[in-house]
Amino acid sequence: MVPKIKALAAGLVAVSAVFALSGGAVANPATAATAVAASGMEAIFNTPPENGDRDHSIETRLVRLVDGAPAGSEIHFSVYSWTRPAVAEAIKAAQARGVKVRIAIDGGADDDPANTAMPILKSAGLTQLVFCGTGGVNTGCIAHDGSPHSINHDKLWMFSETEGKKDVVVIGSHNLTTVQGNMFNNALLTYGDADLYGFYLGHVRKMLAQKKDNNYYDDAGYHKSLNSMVTSYLSPRADSKGGTSEEFATDTWAQLLKWITKYEAGCSLNVVQANIADSRTPVVSELVRIGKLGCKVRIVYDDMGTAALAALKGKANVTLKRFNAAVGDREVTVHSKYMLYTGHYNETGNRSIVFTGSHNVSGAALRDNDEILIKVENPEISAAYQANFSTILARAKCVTSTGATC
């Protein structure tokens, strides 16, 4: 992470916690310290430098969280891809000191004999370690009927207690693999929200039990916490007939964007997406519509379908930048999946909202996979994401390995 952005995020989050818990007034130092410990949020970013070096800030933060978990506490993870040993070693040590650790992993994570993290986890005597759908085509924990497959694409890390904080939930875009250090990634940490923690504890328990449900969104995958103002939208989500068609009414991203209905001076939708697929026409149509309202729609992406690109290219107020830079043998690009909106939303003006998680703008993310998408309304978190977006937008370029533009 760029130190400047890291400092900004940390400072803004501290202010946010004090402000929210003191009714908007500036608390005295003693009260402020108590308030910050009670509840709050933290934005974490991987920001790989232009020289091709890797940034593993999110992984480093996770190691500290694991190391801070005391004996008798609990850790729950639901993750997709995990090959790096650092967090695995920390988890093994945590279990050994009396932390109860339960992990649900996509079954495909156990396929590579060169994976150095899995042997560590398997030898750690964890309270519960589940590889979902091992040996099959569908390796998701809840999703189970995708084409060509379903996966557990969650990036969820939970701690009942760590670093003196309670009910810590971390949701992000980041896999625990080396190549992720080449990519811009993000994570949101919340603490002190027992309601949000309880929802995700129930979610991980379903993952561990592999309770299959291809319409999980409607049955158990929606939750709004009034404590932290975090709303969760989990996949898989079936269409209105129980299928996988493109359908506006059951497209989670499109349904979130539909509430942007009025122009407000300075309104903007800043988008960082690893993948915008042709199978999400309702979302692409909403992006075009929001541009027509007069709001700036700025999109930085790694991969985009040809039909989606054609639909967005040249449209009013829509800016497209592909981030795919080759530095030696490394590809520096974006892996985050977030949108940051500032403006009039759902009949209320002057709002600032972050949408983020593991959910790509792809058909698989909506219909076939285990995924997390959250909505966060917190001005300081929005400011941290805006700083991150500004960095990404300024650096975004598409260059082939030969140095030619693409």
256-299 pLDDT, tens digit each: 999 999 999 999 999 999 999 999 999 999 999 999 999 999 99
> Does 160 reside within a domain?
yes
Range of the structural domain that residue 113 is part of: 41-214
Domain shared by 185 and 102, yes or no: yes
pLDDT of residue 397: 87
The answer to whether residue 172 scores a pLDDT higher than 60 is: yes
Q: What is the DSSP string of 131-191?
A: EETTTSS---SS----SS---B--EEEEEEEETTEEEEEEEES--BSGGGGGEEEEEEEEE
Token output for 55: 């940034």
* Total of domains in the chain: 2
The answer to whether residue 380 scores a pLDDT higher than 90 is: yes
Give the mean model confidence (pLDDT) for residues 234-239. Answer: 98
Domain shared by 186 and 261, yes or no: no
> Does 345 reside within a domain?
yes
> Does 10 reside within a domain?
no
Domain shared by 194 and 259, yes or no: no
* pLDDT confidence bin for 17, thresholds 50/70/90: very low
pLDDT tens readout for residues 111-140: 788 899 999 999 999 999 999 998 888 999
* pLDDT confidence bin for 401, thresholds 50/70/90: low
Percent above pLDDT 90 for the chain: 84
* pLDDT confidence bin for 398, thresholds 50/70/90: confident
Domain shared by 271 and 205, yes or no: no
CA distances from 104 to 79, 113, 127, 353, 402 (A): 7, 19, 11, 30, 41
Domain shared by 206 and 347, yes or no: no
> Does 404 reside within a domain?
no
What angle (nearest 5°) sits at the alpha carbon of residue 351, between those of residues 350 and 352? 130
| Closest to 353 in 3D by CA, of 240, 296, 271 | 271
> Does 315 reside within a domain?
yes
Query: Which domain-ending residue is among 162, 186, 214?
Result: 214
Query: Which domain-ending residue is among 183, 214, 245?
Result: 214
What angle (nearest 5°) sits at the alpha carbon of residue 222, between those of residues 218 and 227? 160
> Does 188 reside within a domain?
yes
pLDDT of residue 37: 52
pTM (2 d.p.): 0.91
Domain shared by 365 and 239, yes or no: yes
pLDDT tens readout for residues 23-79: 233 233 333 333 345 899 999 999 999 998 999 999 999 999 999 999 999 999 999
Strand, coil or helix: 308: helix
Token output for 100: 């109860």
Q: Give dist(CA 151, CA 143) in Å, integer.
A: 7
pLDDT tens readout for residues 312-369: 999 999 999 999 998 888 999 999 999 999 999 999 999 999 999 999 999 999 999 9
Residue 280: which CATH number?
3.30.870.10
Give the mean model confidence (pLDDT) for residues 156-174. Answer: 98
Domain shared by 165 and 278, yes or no: no
The answer to whether residue 376 scores a pLDDT higher than 60 is: yes
Whether the Cβ atoms of residue 24 and residue 171 lie closer than 8 Å to each other:
no
> Does 1 reside within a domain?
no
Q: In 262-314, which ranges are continuous DSSP H helix?
A: 281-293, 306-312
pLDDT of residue 24: 30
